Structure 1
Amino acid sequence: MNKKLLALTLSGALAASMLAGCGGSSNGGDTSTSTDTKADTTEASGAEGSVYYLNFKPEQDQQWQDLAKAYTEETGVPVTVVTAASGNYETTLMSEMGKSGAPTLFQVNGPVGLANWKDYCYDLAGSDIYGQLTSDNYALKEDDTVYGIAYVIESYGLIVNKTLLEKAGYTIDDIQSFADLKNVAEDITARSSELGFAAFTSAGMDGSSDWRFKTHLANLPIYFEYQTDGISSTDAIKGTYLDNYRDMWDLYINNSTCDPKELSAKTGDDSRNEFLAGDAVFFQNGSWEYANLTGDGGYTDDDLAMIPIYIGVGDEANQGLCTGTENYWCVNNQADEADIQATLDFMNWCVTSELGTKTMADEMGFVIPFKGAQESKNLFVKQDAEYTAEGKTPVSWNFTTMPSEEWKNGVGQALTAYAADQTDANWAGVVSAFVDGWATEYQMANGQ
């Protein structure tokens, strides 16, 4: 193990798994193809260079495997895709980087994640794929050095079963604020026996699901605090809007398909399956869920919508979906020169070829920030564009500034404890994990 990786491994506990499961599907085990297979196929094909992609997104594993196979058939260049288990990307990356035949293509979640891997990032400034970007805003840069390139833009919010909502006597036009949402949700709860469904799916705090709340929902009070203070990151979050966070969490857990005491064991699959079964109207998740909800006899576009997550702050009438990225491709500068070039060529093919762009748009449901992007058929992607066209302001992804995975875990544990016993004292534990935990983890991550 080289000195860079040894130092990184020793500090890894401070930032393990910084890539926080956007679409961290519970169907993701480690679906990896072994690095031994990679070495064998490289030698067998005789191709110059090979690619080893450590994929972050379990829910897109099969599509990446298929795309890799197609590229190899077309070019003769071996491409191996290894998919890390949900919530374990950073630890998997550390492990794989310590092996011979380490990943040539990996990802970081933004500036915080980049801090761990900067010394391993090839400068992409002169690459073909950098030239394909529609905006420099999608490049992870410092001065003139390009360390990473965003390969997907995604949105999340409240996915709505419009048919059930209408059965309850409402439409999405009736929900334009937190107050509106609270009114609708509590009315559905009051009539749940009569209606036969709940307002919200289970807010599961199992590891396959908790990222939706300790990361994605937590983004909202962070976003509004940053907006109020005119900043884009901080070493000490104040928790200005944590009362609003509590209001939304209360709404989720007290108007759902299960008792709040059961949430520690509820999974991401549970929540999705409840929505698919018509057990609840609302399901907090993102554009990456579209294929899961519409495939194999699922819902049609007429059944679904995505609305903003309102928490009672800001100009709610003009609030859009939470839209951004935490997915930046990086190329391993420690790899052989031929493997680096093979990796650059594969990346460029993915975002310029008909098959690559079609797969990313239609099968993966991605909006990709490249000139050759195909229009996505994903309803939630289209709705995000419609919100923006109407002049609504997207909520930016600020969870990339969260100081560590340990901070998220602390918040998640406190949320779970509060759900089981909803006292002010237990909510104070959430506030402490959020505010005090932020300061502590930031100082540890930055050697202060």
Structure 2
Amino acid sequence: MKRKILSIMLTFALVFSLMAGCDTKGSNNGESNSTVTATKTVKITLLNSKGEIQAQLEEAAKVFTKENPNITVEVIPAAAGQSPFEKVTAMYASGNAPTMAMLDPGDIAKFKDKFLDLSGEKWVEDAIDWTLSVARVDGKVIAFPFAVEGYGLIYNKAVLDKAYGGNFDPSSIRTRDALEEAFKKVEAIGVKALEISPMDWSLGAHFLTIAYAAQSKDPAQVAQFLSDLKAGKVDLANNKVFNGLMDTFDMMKKYNIDKNDPLSPTYDRGPELIGKGEVGFWFMGNWAWPQIKEFDTANEQYGFIPVPISNNPGDYGNSQIAVGPSKFIGIDKTQNNAVQQDAAKKFLNWLVYSQTGQDALVNKANVIPAFKNITLEPQDPLAKSIGQYMKESNTLKLEFNTILPPDHWSKLGASMQKYLAGKIDRKGLIDEIENYWKNVQ
């Protein structure tokens, strides 16, 4: 009897041992086990450096999770005033790298050893060709082109129609003098002409870079200009395009609604002023529409004019709006496991190929997509205006963004702030720009 009981106990022990062994295998290799993957929730993170669409991305993440219940997406905002490069670098240093990192064009190559090779993804073939020039590093596509954006002088058409006594034609402004005449007409009806937002990223990454982009229609020549600037071979004091742009900026400063305290306004002041029709123009990009819309109750008629750099309407830059892929998403391969990487790929494909993903990208976040297969067109007036310039090939291509140092907008944005506030003159600004580039590593 004892032998029988012992035999039964041994049998049960063997069965439990085998079951435990199976369970241990499932736990250790669950990330690649299809049964576990199908039921286990995988959490991925997205570092978002486009603060103006934080709420829209959070909503997109919820919709994606509803359609993919085993994947949750946390959207982490980059702090205001902090460059995404600094944020992501700090997260890597702490061992907490985001699964997906949204970065500026010039940052991508710096993470080539940390980002996943995405060359085999379907969307690579569907991307607009020139949007991948930044994403391709050492022959591999390591980033997803998230958005195409443009910037210039946003105008409120209702204000301009009243100022001009009829239907305002934005193509009539192609010189500095014509722009100043528009400012005068706006002020003649009791409205302030212009808001200049003093954030370093707006002044350093957007306004100043027009001086780079307008050097030539040939992107290779623009890249050479920056290379020469780095080598100390460029004399900005005698550069026609740079001085033309800064002459326009000087004129803009005179009509700035906040000229008596030009560094005080926050970003939020701009959409309120232009949306309520308290200014006729605001230098900013199409990403600002969600904020403008909050203050616009009836008009919804806005558009862009380029920042003219001379009084010759035929000069390159006077008819062209600055446009380029502005944000890219890389997938981490060093601190996120294979299942998280696959989940991130699925999220990016969802944005490009699903109806709900395209709706989240284009209609909700008001992003101009970088993919040929997406037929949805943003319905907001600013994106439509940028799209029209693109259709007419009237664009300043921002391909040179790939070689802008990560601290360009913060360092030279600070120099532009000093110039805006009158703390340095043109020579002082030139010295700071030239010295910055000479010391770029």
Structure 1 residue aligned with 2:64 = 71
Distance apart, 1:377 and its partner CA: 1.0
Partner AA of 2:252 in structure 1: Y
Write the mapping of 1:422-441 to structure 2, written as runs, cut at 5 A. Answer: 426-440=425-439
Structure 2 residue aligned with 1:377 = 379
Change (3 A) 1:130 1:414: closer
**Structure 2 Cα separation of the partners of residues 45 and 100 of structure 1:** 27
Distance apart, 1:125 and its partner CA: 0.9
Structure 2 residue aligned with 1:247 = 247
RMSD: 2.7
Change (3 A) 1:428 1:401: farther
Partner AA of 2:378 in structure 1: S
**Which one of the candidate residues 210, 224, 232 is aligned to 2:223?**
232
SS at match of 1:78: strand
Write the mapping of 1:265-280 to structure 2, written as runs, cut at 5 A. Answer: 265-280=264-279
Partner AA of 1:400 in structure 2: N
Change (3 A) 1:73 1:253: same
| Residues 251-286 of structure 1, C-alpha deviations (whole Å, 9 max, x = no match) | 2211021224x1122211122222223221001111
Matched, 1:120 2:114: yes
**Structure 2 Cα separation of the partners of residues 291 and 100 of structure 1:** 34
Structure 1 residue aligned with 2:209 = 219
Checking the alignment, whether the CA contact within 8 Å between 1:188 and 1:198 is kept in structure 2 is: yes
Partner AA of 1:380 in structure 2: L
Change (3 A) 1:247 1:349: same
**Structure 2 Cα separation of the partners of residues 420 and 163 of structure 1:** 30
Partner AA of 1:333 in structure 2: K
**Structure 2 Cα separation of the partners of residues 198 and 352 of structure 1:** 44
Partner AA of 1:308 in structure 2: P
Checking the alignment, whether the CA contact within 8 Å between 1:219 and 1:398 is kept in structure 2 is: no
Structure 1 residue aligned with 2:351 = 350
TM-score by length of 1: 0.78
Distance apart, 1:431 and its partner CA: 0.7
Structure 1 residue aligned with 2:48 = 55
Checking the alignment, whether the CA contact within 8 Å between 2:211 and 2:242 is kept in structure 1 is: yes
SS at match of 2:143: strand
Checking the alignment, whether the CA contact within 8 Å between 2:213 and 2:396 is kept in structure 1 is: yes
Partner AA of 1:232 in structure 2: A
Write the mapping of 1:132-281 to structure 2, written as runs, cut at 5 A. Answer: 132-135=126-129, 137-138=131-132, 140-169=135-164, 171=168, 172-189=170-187, 191=188, 195-201=189-195, 203-205=196-198, 209-227=199-217, 230-233=221-224, 234-237=226-229, 238=234, 239=236, 240=239, 241-260=241-260, 262-281=261-280
| Residues 54-112 of structure 1, C-alpha deviations (whole Å, 9 max, x = no match) | 111111111111111122122121211111123322222122223455311113322x3
Partner AA of 2:204 in structure 1: K
Matched, 1:93 2:93: no
**Structure 1 Cα separation of the partners of residues 297 and 223 of structure 2:** 39
| Residues 311-364 of structure 1, C-alpha deviations (whole Å, 9 max, x = no match) | 217635972321111211111011211111111111111211111101111111
Partner AA of 1:181 in structure 2: L
Structure 1 residue aligned with 2:75 = 81
Ranges in structure 2 where 5+ consecutive residues have no aligned partner: 1-35
**Structure 2 Cα separation of the partners of residues 299 and 284 of structure 1:** 22
Checking the alignment, whether the CA contact within 8 Å between 2:200 and 2:416 is kept in structure 1 is: no
**Structure 2 Cα separation of the partners of residues 347 and 85 of structure 1:** 23
SS at match of 2:147: coil
Structure 1 residue aligned with 2:302 = 304
Checking the alignment, whether the CA contact within 8 Å between 1:294 and 1:300 is kept in structure 2 is: no
Checking the alignment, whether the CA contact within 8 Å between 2:152 and 2:285 is kept in structure 1 is: yes
Distance apart, 1:403 and its partner CA: 4.0
Change (3 A) 1:44 1:122: closer
Q: Which has the larger radius of gyration?
A: 2
**Structure 1 Cα separation of the partners of residues 121 and 323 of structure 2:** 27
Change (3 A) 1:48 1:145: farther
Ranges in structure 1 where 5+ consecutive residues have no aligned partner: 1-42
Distance apart, 1:401 and its partner CA: 4.8
Change (3 A) 1:418 1:387: closer
Partner AA of 2:61 in structure 1: A
Checking the alignment, whether the CA contact within 8 Å between 1:45 and 1:78 is kept in structure 2 is: no
Change (3 A) 1:364 1:87: same
Distance apart, 1:214 and its partner CA: 1.8
Change (3 A) 1:430 1:199: same
Checking the alignment, whether the CA contact within 8 Å between 2:100 and 2:329 is kept in structure 1 is: yes
SS at match of 2:227: coil
Question: Bigger CA drift: 224-233 or 89-98?
Answer: 224-233
SS at match of 1:244: helix
Partner AA of 2:215 in structure 1: E
**Structure 2 Cα separation of the partners of residues 116 and 62 of structure 1:** 28
